[in-house]
Amino acid sequence: MMKYLIIGNSAAGINAADAIRMNDNKGNIKIISREKFRAYGRPLISYYLSGKVSPENMYYRSENYFKSKNIEVLLNVEAENIDLKNKEVATIGGGKIAYDKLLIATGSGPFIPHIKGLDMCKQENVFTFLTYEDAIKLKKKITKKSKVIVAGAGFIGLKAAEGLFGQVGSITVVDLADRVMASILDKQSADIVQTHMEQNNINFKLKTSVCEIYGKNNVSTVALSNNEILDCDILVIAVGVRPNIDIANTINLKTKDGIIVNEYMQTSKRDVYAAGDCVESLDLFSGDSKVFALWSSASNQGEVAGFNMASVEMKAPMVFAVNAISFFGLQLISAGVVNASTSNNIVLDLVKSELCRLNILNDNLVGFVLINCEQRAGIYTALISDRVKLSELDYDITSRDVGFSVYSKDERTKKYWEPCKR
């Protein structure tokens, strides 16, 4: 009987366990997690913070799910090192767990920039915002009067800001970029998002950064690089994530920023696989290897790893970013390339805060941003991932709202009638 061990209990780990069980109904599957909570929807932490999602709805799978699939989950167990020769993982506290196939799905952790005066261990009002525990601690600490500074106007920082809305005195988001979510939004789209958030009392300080923090055990003020001094009762650091590769380094896995894997999610060591935020993936457009911290990509890679661990060959597709987010009712979907010098087709209605930007390069759709007009977004996403030649479609996608009828009759029939393996 095969022994499968998965380090990490989130999107990649759980989808891997599901895929293994689908292909091997007898094997022993164990998931270990250093967190104390059972698997939760990680992006839901901002919904927990705002109170929109109650604790019982945080969980990614029902309580009896793992039991029903005969998957053993060990919480509060952290891998310390891996013995490749004897195929064992040593855990902190002295435990040992044997494996035949191992998956490293350790995710990513917060990137902590070097800021003068910052001491995460001592300062009790400085938070990161990646885990359920982070959210619980932050929620406990805030008061109706708190002056909150969020360092970082990316996805995580803005969701933290939205989650805090109405529960604190003031919220100021600081970012070095000239716009919010600079990695997934062009300036015009970012301005719509920023304006909408400002209307909901979120303040922004852009093109500047937190450069010094004052207060020994509690931060009281922060200094920005533009010489402004801001009062601060709560500081949230959300400037990005870094792959958790400590465990990979104990066995000298090939890594760059993240763990290097092939298209079967195999690492450089035999019977050791890796998936999710901790790995490097191939960028669909450039072919470059880089880290994508995306929930859906982690789920996909977990599934691919699981199939291959259970000896059913499956290849992982190349990756491009697709993000769906909402802020105070403003719905936003961004995918692929948004900033490059491609030909842009933009339909804009500023009154309704609607925007549809299609980025076209040669004969391909390479990216899009949709704000408040997202109904058929997945069709655009498929046009990108399948590298569909736009000239072969039934109509010009810039001429009207896209539908499934955009495909020619033959193509449509094929996609619709053939058993869908997507």
Query: Which residues sit at the interface with another protein, rule CB under 8 A?
Result: 15, 41-44, 47, 52-53, 57, 59-61, 295-296, 299-300, 303, 322-326, 329, 331, 333, 335, 374-379, 381-382, 394-395, 402-405, 415-417, 419-422
Least distance between another protein and beta carbon 129 (Å): 15
Asked if residue 96 lies in contact with residue 87, where contact means CB atoms within 8 angstroms, the answer is: no
CB nearer another protein, residue 97 or residue 158: 158
Among 168, 240, 171, smallest CA distance to 204 is for 171
Identity of the residue, 57 or 252, whose beta carbon is nearer to another protein in the bound complex: 57
Quote the least distance from Cβ 286 to another protein, whole Å: 21
Give the chain's length: 422
238 versus 402: smaller Cβ distance to another protein: 402
Q: What does the alpha-carbon distance between residue 229 and residue 163 come to, in Å, rounded to a whole number?
A: 25
Q: In what order do the strands lie in the sheet with 126-128?
A: 126-128, 234-237, 147-151, 170-175, 202-206
Is the Cβ of residue 111 or residue 395 nearer to another protein in the bound state? 395
Minimum CB distance to another protein smaller for 153 or for 335 = 335
Tell the smallest beta-carbon distance from residue 242 to another protein (Å): 21
**Cα–Cα–Cα angle for 158, 141, 132, nearest 5°?**
60
CA distance 158 to 150: 8
CB of 115 vs another protein, minimal distance in Å:
30
Min dist CB 420 to another protein, Å, is 5
Half-sphere exposure (Cβ direction) of 249: Cα atoms closer than 13 Å: 8
Give the residue with the Cβ less far from another protein, 42 or 137: 42
> Can you tell me the distance from the alpha carbon of 209 to that of 129, in angstroms, rounded to the nearest whole number?
18
Please, are residues 106 and 8 in contact by the beta-carbon 8 Å criterion? yes
Give min distance, CB of 265 to another protein, in A.
Answer: 15
